Structure 1
């Protein structure tokens, strides 16, 4: 028993390492397309193509806020990471009006506000052009071309700056879409791994805990050394299970939903009081609302599965897990009982057949499979829409 427990603990630790690696990879993915390279190239291009002394590029990072993140040709640092609210200064004006704007002499111009005269003067800027990067009516950022002398940005320079801004808007829009897709893919991968780990490690840890508690109960009055060893093993297992739950939660920070999860928890509590069999309901990650009709079908199917456990399984523990994956909700009801009642009877109960028909009416499926270490799992899948 102790050797089997140690193996399970070691496997749980290995899965914890997988959690950490996945979280690290997720963080790296989120920084692969952080727009830095694109913005750096825009600052250099607008300077070169307009023949300017300075090129600047900044993304819109919050509602009505532009931040100058990349620069080329500056001497001072006042413009570096400068925060420019919509409407203020030259870039803020272009941001607000969705059009190119320029001034011959920045600090003397009556066209703009003068919130940023300090950093502008520190870099010796006189003539300046700002062009918003607009895609589908949305400003993604602003590029600037600046001269340290009073001059005129002719049609060629203006056309060049607009061309740079257009390509920059497309680049930032594409990067933003790619980032959202990668983030969604990473979230889906976290949920997939969480589901796999919960079905394997989580269920086994839960059953082991139930077995240890049962052994300790039957060993009372016997060897004190055996009792102490069982208590120690039970405490170790409780610590491992706690670490496992924390790691699963780290994979998906969404808060569990209310109605369906609460109903399943109440059903488990009632089942445990009625039968004396340990029962637990766990929601892995955030499960979205699937509508009242589908929720009723899922709940009825889970209750039918619990009823079958009560009537036929002779189980010591039951675990219900709920997870949303690939636009569907899956509820698994796993027990550690006696398995199939007899050859040729797999999944042929009248109650389960009728339940499968009701699940099928909402586009879902119901399946019953044998667990590798004993017992059965009823898995109910229902699409979200």
Structure 2
């Protein structure tokens, strides 16, 4: 008895497993657009009893392309372009309702642009119905075909409408699944982007800080100064490569990404120092070329570096906006209440930025406020 019970339990579990596998296959079918439409072509033959079934997907409001087939003998219909009004599918596209002919080649009810393909395939009777989306518009065309001349009755038309409704549901689910997958990919890309920015970006920033500190202390050693300059150049190149990689991951251009990158620098500064840092975009800035964009990013980086090295602020504000004269104005300001060490306007980084700005027709300045805070300003012509 125990052996029989065990055998029954195994049989029940196998049956449950088979059911789960069938449900999985059904779910996969409707979660993939291609599989869903290929399945529709096969389902037409089963439900209608047709010799062949095929489905055309819309590539434009006035044009469909036959892509999925079942039971066909040749590839004559594969990738066949069906404009609105042409053939039986084009008529469905024009009228938005079922169209049926008992003898395709001899029918006066349709145009005969595709007689050659139909004749090669050996099709006699044909029935086509629209697959209608949630918006009420045709999103695909489902066809049933017989090899001999015959009539598709109302029962067959009803079955085709049922198949088309199932196809519409499957396409909605497939599109939703694709959107969810795209959202998941975007979220993962954003996670990796943030991780790279916070780890590699922060490391390059700290290396740059240390190199610049060494510059100030080894001015009397030309050999070491030269090596530090090369190292600084390498760090700058690595930072630029990282920025380009992050921009690729966001699928955007350097010009469009400028506010995003500035905001990221402010966020990274706040996470690293604990000092609140806010980015304010005063108004939309007209697109800038890569050189101007790179300079503005460098100004933000230098401004935050000066605050971190010399200041003791309660907060930092970075603002970006257009100027009245058609240019662009960037400001990095802090509210340090203690005296900064050294003269910030004489730093190598600020002088280098000022020289780059002059070459572009702009200017960079760093001034100390009466309360001890610093304001780094950059203006560039449009």
Query: Which category describes the TM-score, using the shorter chain as reference length?
Result: 0.5 to 0.7
2:55 counterpart of 1:57: yes
Hey, what's the Cα distance between the residues in 2 that align with 1:93 and 1:298? 61
Over residues 223-253 of structure 1, what are the superposed CA-to-partner deviations in whole Å (9 max), with x where a residue is unaligned?
62x4454344334323322321122112111
> Which of 131, 152, 166 is 1:133 aligned to?
131
Hey, what's the Cα distance between the residues in 1 that align with 2:54 and 2:62? 18
Secondary structure of the 2:85 match is coil
Contact residue 319 and residue 332 of structure 2 kept, 8 A: no
1:175 maps to which residue?
A: 174
Q: How many residues align?
A: 271
Contact residue 131 and residue 140 of structure 2 kept, 8 A: yes
1:185 maps to which residue?
A: 184
**Structure 1 residue 150, shift from structure 2 partner:** 0.3
2:79 counterpart of 1:92: no
Give the alignment's Cα RMSD to 1 decimal.
Answer: 4.1
Hey, what's the Cα distance between the residues in 2 that align with 1:46 and 1:262? 56
Secondary structure of the 1:68 match is strand
Over residues 161-209 of structure 1, what are the superposed CA-to-partner deviations in whole Å (9 max), with x where a residue is unaligned?
1111110011112211222233233223323432343233223313422
So what's the TM-score if we normalise by structure 2?
Answer: 0.59
Contact residue 140 and residue 173 of structure 1 kept, 8 A: no
Secondary structure of the 1:69 match is strand
Q: Compared with structure 1, are the counterparts of its residues 251 and 117 closer, same or farther at alpha carbon in structure 2 (3 Å cutoff)?
A: same
Q: Compared with structure 1, are the counterparts of its residues 107 and 269 closer, same or farther at alpha carbon in structure 2 (3 Å cutoff)?
A: same
**Structure 1 residue 221, shift from structure 2 partner:** 4.0
Of structures 1 and 2, the one scoring higher in RCO (CA 8 A, sep 6+) is 1
**Structure 1 residue 151, shift from structure 2 partner:** 0.4
Report the structure number with the largest CA radius of gyration.
2
Hey, what's the Cα distance between the residues in 1 that align with 2:285 and 2:210? 26
2:261 counterpart of 1:234: no
**Structure 1 residue 68, shift from structure 2 partner:** 1.5
2:179 counterpart of 1:152: no
Over residues 27-83 of structure 1, what are the superposed CA-to-partner deviations in whole Å (9 max), with x where a residue is unaligned?
xxxxx9551111111111101221111110122233333221211111111211222
User: Which blocks of at least 5 consecutive residues in structure 2 are unaligned?
Assistant: 1-29, 260-280, 287-292, 309-316, 321-329, 351-382
So what's the TM-score if we normalise by structure 1?
Answer: 0.59
Contact residue 210 and residue 278 of structure 1 kept, 8 A: no
Hey, what's the Cα distance between the residues in 1 that align with 2:257 and 2:240? 21
User: Which blocks of at least 5 consecutive residues in structure 1 are unaligned?
Assistant: 1-31, 280-296, 319-385
1:161 maps to which residue?
A: 160
1:80 maps to which residue?
A: 78
Secondary structure of the 1:106 match is coil
Q: Compared with structure 1, are the counterparts of its residues 307 and 58 closer, same or farther at alpha carbon in structure 2 (3 Å cutoff)?
A: same
> Which of 67, 70, 82 is 1:69 aligned to?
67
1:102 maps to which residue?
A: 100
